[in-house]
């Protein structure tokens, strides 16, 4: 499975259930990577989308403890076992975990690739992605040239889980 996120210098990902910043190149990259694929998210992430509507041209799976939760165009699952049964129907390379913080933390150890847009700025945040630079089991395998959006610098990084020896 894949993780995909935009993070700041401190690995912050959001504030008040909103992205820290919207960078058009990052939005385009996210769309290119996930269109036609399966996206896994928490309920609050879905609710942060415009009108709380699921992402077009993707299978939208919401992991929530609320057993009565329903949303149009979304498959709701309520625990890891139910999620794993549902994801078994898909190629794991076609599954993208898209947030928020608790879903990233729950699924990090089940993923092998992380597509990270690293923004060279520190925002005020109340949600964070696990810092892969501090983890011995992850390494950067690809990085882009410096990108800019107005005066903001950022990079597209690909992390892979190291093979156990």
How far is 152 from 121, CA to CA, in rounded Å? 7
Q: What is the pLDDT of residues 20-74, one digit of tens each?
A: 999 999 999 999 999 999 999 999 999 999 999 999 999 999 999 999 999 999 9
Contact 28, 137 (CB under 8 A): no
Residue given tokens 């150890």 in the structure block:
109
| Helix, strand, coil abundance in the chain, percent, nearest 5 | 25, 35, 40
Mean pLDDT across 109-127: 98
Domains and CATH numbers, the chain: 2-161 (3.40.430.10)
User: Tokens 């057993």 sit at which residue?
Assistant: 67
pLDDT value at 124 more than 90: yes
In the chain, pLDDT over 90 holds for what percent of residues? 98
d(CA 37, CA 1): 11
What is the pLDDT at residue 165? 52
């Amino acid at each position: 499975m894949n993780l995909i996120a935009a993070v700041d210098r401190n690995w912050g990902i959001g504030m008040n259930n909103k992205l820290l910043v919207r960078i058009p190149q990052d939005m385009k990259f996210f769309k290119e990577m996930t269109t036609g694929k399966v996206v896994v998210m928490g309920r609050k992430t879905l609710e942060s989308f415009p009108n709380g509507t699921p992402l077009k041209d993707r299978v939208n799976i919401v992991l929530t403890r609320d057993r009565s939760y329903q949303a149009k165009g979304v498959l709701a699952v309520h625990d890891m076992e139910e999620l794993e049964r549902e994801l078994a129907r898909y190629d794991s390379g076609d599954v993208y975990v898209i947030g928020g913080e608790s879903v990233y933390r729950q699924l990090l150890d089940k993923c092998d690739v992380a597509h990270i847009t690293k923004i060279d700025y520190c925002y005020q945040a109340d949600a964070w992605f696990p810092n892969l630079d501090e983890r011995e089991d992850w390494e950067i395998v690809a990085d882009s040239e410096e990108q800019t959006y107005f005066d903001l610098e950022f990079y597209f990084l690909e992390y892979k889980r190291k093979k156990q020896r």
